[in-house]
Amino acid sequence: MLFNSLEFTIFLPVVFTIYWVLQKSKLKYQNFWILASSYFFYGWWDWRFLGLILFSTLVDYFAAKSISSSNGNNRKLYLWLSICVNLGFLGFFKYFNFFIDSLKNSVLFFGGELDVATLEIVLPVGISFYTFQTLSYTIDVYRGKIKPTDDFIAFAAFVSFFPQLVAGPIERASNLLPQFFTKRTFSYSLAIDGLRQILWGLFKKMVIADNCATFANLIFNNSDDYSGSTLFVGAMFFAFQIYGDFSGYSDIAIGTARLFGFNLMKNFAFPYFSRDIAEFWRRWHISLSTWFRDYLYIPLGGSKVGSITKIRNVFIIFIVSGFWHGANWTFIVWGALNALFFIPLLVLNRNRKNLDFDEHQNVWIYLKNLFNRVLTFILVTIAWVFFRAESIDHALNYLKSMFTKALFTSLDSKILEDSTVLFYLISIFILLEWVGRKNEYALEKLGMSWPMLIRWSFYGLIIFSIGMFMVTEETPFIYFQF
């Protein structure tokens, strides 16, 4: 079930109403209602994979309890059981055909032939997200950071919590699970704040991302027909598409959770205003970046090792992160390219230079920051070409055609004419994001000091723009495929 679908506009009010009717009863009834609603939400897409979530939940529930009650090597045994089962499912559904194809191509490269058939595998939506979420639970229990829960309903609701089930944020048990044991009462201000964030998420997805997708798809699918300048604009459209799509989803997820009295972790912090690549990765997909930091980078030694090992660790993190996104070499190259952008900052010990948005009043520093922001956006956009392209050859040919003298020629007249309104919408979007950059999301405090009539007119204008510029057909979120 998509957040931007008619089904969800019916589903959400029904679940919301019954949930708060249950607030005077025992907490376990509210948790059970969340669990039932979450399984219905996921089963709406494909009920056959409900058993997969249930099995994964059972494995981690009992693995964590066994870890807690065991000593010595048995604790490791149960931890590895959880890791192998979860990553085994992920590997089979997501990477089986990729490894078979890569093996066949390798054998063919050396003159041989391998006759192994691939399988028609349907990738379960959100498997990468809930797999990492449940893994963090058993690892944290093993490390002694949290205690395992005896409440299976609460734990199953934590694993399948529908606002963030299929595309994150990837929650940690230490943050989300305790909230299922806390009495929740309806808060009008919290609900309004949640609705405001949902509204902003829908604007990002339905106005910015979906309209950018129209032109990005047109240009990427016909890249041989366009000049360098149009190809650059196509890459830029994709940069805004993926940001509007994924951060829009996160805003809707966080806002929806807030309607039910839950606080999810922040997943995006205005990454396109970053002044270097290190800052960008502190602001982009925060729940995944911090997951890899806590469960892979630090166990590898983190930054407390020699320079060569530190560089190796960075490469591992970025390449694994790229591979997490999809079973294609384009994602691996995308990750490696970001590592190459990041490593000079690491070597020069400048990777933690830009930590916040404090702007100095000095005009030269302001201009320097502006230059760094534009440069960082261009580097990120170049890397996105690999993320979006169908193959490595497609990405290389796209970049080769883009970086020619034609980069400085005028845009394709048809693209320019058809996308003029979108350029204005993107400009307004950037302006609103800039104004709200120090808050949790752009609309959080924007207009709070305005007269109520003007503030609500502003919200009405956003709703009107969604209705005015939304793409008519239903468009899935990009990260559903991961």
On whether the CB atoms of residues 266 and 286 are closer than 8 A, the answer is yes
Measured in degrees and rounded to the nearest 5, phi and psi for residue 389 equal -65, 155
What's the whole-model pTM score?
0.92
- Which among 174, 378, 439 is positioned nearest to 290, based on CA atoms? 174
pLDDT score for 8: 92
Measured CA to CA, the distance from residue 268 to residue 266 in angstroms comes to 6
Give, as one character, the DSSP assignment of residue 268: -
Confidence at residue 477, expressed as pLDDT on a 0 to 100 scale: 81
Looking at residue 241, its pLDDT comes to: 97
Which member of 285, 325, 360, 394 is catalytic?
Answer: 325
User: Environment class of residue 212 by beta-carbon count within 10 Å: exposed (0-12), middle (13-18) or buried (19+)?
Assistant: buried
Distances in whole angstroms, Cα of residue 98 to Cα of each of 91, 334, 384: 10, 17, 21
- CA–CA distance, 205 with 173 (Å, rounded to integer): 28
Contact 22, 29 (CB under 8 A): yes
pLDDT per residue of the chain (482 residues) written in tens, 0 to 9: 888 888 999 999 999 999 999 988 889 999 999 999 999 999 998 888 899 999 999 999 999 999 999 988 899 999 999 999 999 988 888 888 778 877 777 787 777 777 777 767 777 888 889 999 999 999 999 999 999 999 999 999 999 999 998 887 999 999 999 999 999 999 999 999 999 999 999 999 999 999 999 999 999 999 999 999 999 999 999 999 999 999 999 999 999 999 999 999 999 999 999 999 999 999 999 999 999 999 999 999 887 888 899 999 999 999 999 998 888 899 999 999 999 999 999 999 888 888 887 766 688 888 889 999 999 999 999 999 999 999 999 999 999 999 988 888 888 888 889 999 999 999 999 999 999 999 999 999 998 999 999 999 999 999 999 999 998 777 778 777 67
| pLDDT at 359 (0 to 100) | 65
Token couple for 169 = 């944020």
CB 82 within 8 A of CB 90: no
- The pLDDT, as a whole number, for residue 444 is 94
**Is residue 325 among the annotated active site residues?**
yes
User: How many C-alpha atoms does 424 have within 13 Å on its Cβ side?
Assistant: 6
245 membership: H or E segment, kind and range: helix 228-259
Closest alpha carbon to 249 in 298, 287, 290: 287
